[in-house]
């Protein structure tokens, strides 16, 4: 088993390094001139960290919610951020900061709202969390599209924020804030690795975890808040990028197993690789760059068929 995950991990790192090199060179063998290289390097860093953080958040949420279809956006964080962006444009507020403060503020507000609604006697109830997240997603997305109907001229301005974009153009001051945001999100997402033993126990079920001395409610609260915060940080920079946190952890778990000390970093690297591939496709196969969630949405179709096929086979065997 150790050999299996080690080989898978090394292959993943090799693919990531290999693809990152060609991403920087524009899929050529020649290193571009310095200005172009700097632009591509910034985009590589943003795309890598966004994919890593969102995939790690998805892996954690799938564990604490015990649902393979859980996703960072199931808690409504992304739709809250999009509402913040839409409201600023509705009232004609022009923000020069690439990191949208209203987007982050609305995301944080959404986190605390869903956290409050999903608790019973101090315990986070996973069923309420899923239902509450879905409700807030529908509600906030409805408000966003209402704003776009009322103020159609801002649609082109925030289109890429609605469905994700990592091709950031920023001033020197904005770059500092962007890197601080990405660095904080990356550190926080890896901080949750401290709970890998507790998460391994939770995969056995709440009752079994409690019998092993794990405070399930405390771990669930901690993971939910950290995963939501890291998602909010990423969304404030790149907009809403869906499906990464849904697909990658499931695929990685199938290939190298579900031990969280390996699953979490492997999911992060896999998410970074997937997002780099999606970003490359969005730049090269279409007349204009496509938002990343559209590309990933196309990728997700065979993934959902695979999930349904697995569930059907497991049901037949049982």
What digits encode the pLDDT tens for the residues 171-187? Answer: 777 788 889 989 999 99
Does residue 122 surpass a pLDDT of 80?
Answer: no
Does residue 11 surpass a pLDDT of 50?
Answer: yes
Tokens read off for 264:
């979490």
What are 119's strand-pairing partners?
A: 124
Give per-residue pLDDT as tens, 185-244.
Answer: 999 999 888 888 999 999 888 888 888 888 888 898 899 889 888 988 898 888 888 889
Q: What does pTM read for this prediction?
A: 0.91
Give per-residue pLDDT as tens, 262-287.
Answer: 999 999 999 999 999 999 998 888 88
- The continuous run of DSSP H or E covering 124 comes out as strand 123-124
pLDDT at residue number 98: 45
**Separation CA 297–CA 281 (nearest Å):** 13
pLDDT at residue number 318: 56
Over its C-alpha atoms, the chain yields an Rg (Å, rounded) of 20
Termini Cα distance of the chain: 25
CATH number of 2-317: 1.10.3470.10
Domain boundaries in the chain?
Answer: 2-317
DSSP characters over 182-249: HHHHHHHHHHGGGGHHHHHHHTT-HHHHHHTT--HHHHHHHHHHHHHHHHHHHHHHH----SHHHHHH
């Amino acid at each position: 088993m150790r050999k299996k995950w080690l080989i898978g991990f090394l292959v993943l790192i090799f693919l990531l390094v290999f693809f990152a090199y060609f991403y920087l060179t524009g899929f050529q063998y020649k290193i571009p001139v310095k200005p172009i290289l700097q632009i591509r390097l910034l985009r590589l860093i943003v795309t890598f960290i966004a994919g890593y953080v969102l995939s790690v958040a998805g892996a954690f949420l799938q564990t604490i919610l015990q649902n393979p279809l859980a996703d960072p956006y199931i808690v409504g964080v992304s739709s809250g951020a999009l509402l913040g962006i839409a409201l600023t444009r509705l009232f004609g507020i022009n923000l020069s900061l690439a990191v949208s403060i209203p987007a982050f503020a609305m995301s944080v507000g959404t986190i605390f709202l869903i956290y409050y609604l999903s608790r019973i006697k101090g315990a986070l109830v996973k069923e309420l969390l899923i239902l509450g997240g879905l409700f807030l997603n529908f509600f906030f997305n409805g408000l966003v599209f209402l704003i776009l109907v009322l103020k159609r001229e801002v649609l082109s301005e925030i289109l890429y924020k609605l469905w994700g974009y990592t091709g950031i153009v920023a001033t020197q001051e904005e770059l500092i804030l962007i890197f601080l945001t990405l660095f904080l999100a990356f550190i926080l997402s890896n901080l949750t690795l401290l709970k890998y033993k507790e998460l391994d126990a939770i995969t056995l079920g709440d009752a079994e975890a409690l019998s092993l001395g794990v405070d399930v409610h405390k771990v669930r609260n901690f993971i939910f808040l950290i995963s939501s915060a890291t998602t909010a940080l990423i969304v404030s920079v790149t907009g809403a990028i869906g499906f990464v946190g849904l697909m990658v952890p499931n695929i990685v778990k199938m290939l190298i197993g579900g031990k969280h000390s390996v699953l979490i970093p492997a999911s992060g690297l896999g998410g970074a690789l997937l997002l780099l591939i999606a970003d490359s496709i969005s730049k090269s196969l279409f007349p204009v760059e496509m938002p990343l969630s559209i590309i990933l949405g196309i990728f997700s179709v065979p993934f959902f068929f695979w999930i349904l096929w697995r569930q059907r086979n497991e049901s037949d065997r049982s």
